[in-house]
């Protein structure tokens, strides 16, 4: 057998196998990229009905284009089981995916707990400072502050009352147990 006859035989074999695949495929549609797809399984639900070119029929009848199928009056109940019976059934959950999901949830819980501990520690420190400040305000000791110009000012009774109320508000919000 020479090279020419061998290549012709190969080409014929490929063409016939391509034809056989097309004959076996009962579904034919155009995917989202515009490519023609042949399959023995129905397309995903993302494929619009207008893109389905060929689909199998009940009762062993030959496949026909979707435009002809739409023209024939089929009830929705008769066509619904075809999609359900042809769809692959899911057997269970993906163990690896579930493990990664669980690990991500655990990491999120650890992160959340660390943030809560940091906030609790900051509230406790703020509470302690506010209690010391309130004790100083109520002691009657003369207090002074520095103004925006950098000058020292002695607190009068009105300023002391305002500062005492501010510190009591901090104590109420941060010293809750």
Mean pLDDT per block of 10 residues along the chain (177 residues) reads 70 63 72 88 88 74 46 43 54 80 94 94 92 90 90 90 92 84
Q: What is the pTM of this model?
A: 0.40
User: Which pLDDT value is given to residue 16?
Assistant: 62
Q: 60: alpha, beta or left, given left = phi > 0 and alpha = psi -120 to 50?
A: left
pLDDT in tens, 114-132: 999 999 999 999 999 999 9
pLDDT in tens, 76-86: 444 444 445 55
Among residues 58, 52, 53, the alpha carbon closest in space to that of 79 is found at: 58
């Amino acid at each position: 057998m020479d090279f020419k006859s061998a290549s012709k035989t190969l080409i014929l074999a490929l063409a016939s196998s391509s034809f056989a695949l097309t004959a076996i495929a009962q579904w034919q549609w155009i995917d989202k990229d515009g490519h023609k797809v042949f399959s023995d399984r129905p397309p995903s639900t993302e494929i619009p009905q207008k893109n389905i070119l060929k689909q199998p029929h009940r009762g062993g009848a030959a496949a026909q284009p979707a435009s002809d199928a739409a023209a024939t009056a089929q009830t929705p109940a008769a066509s619904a089981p075809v999609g359900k019976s042809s769809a692959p059934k899911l057997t269970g959950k993906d163990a690896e995916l579930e493990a990664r999901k669980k690990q991500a949830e655990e990491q999120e819980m650890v992160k959340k707990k660390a943030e809560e501990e940091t906030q609790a520690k900051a509230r406790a420190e703020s509470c302690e400072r506010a209690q010391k400040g309130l004790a100083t305000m109520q002691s009657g000791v003369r207090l002074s502050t520095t103004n925006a110009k950098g000058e020292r000012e002695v607190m009068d009774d009105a300023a002391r009352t305002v500062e005492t109320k501010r510190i009591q508000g901090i104590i109420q919000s941060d010293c809750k147990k």
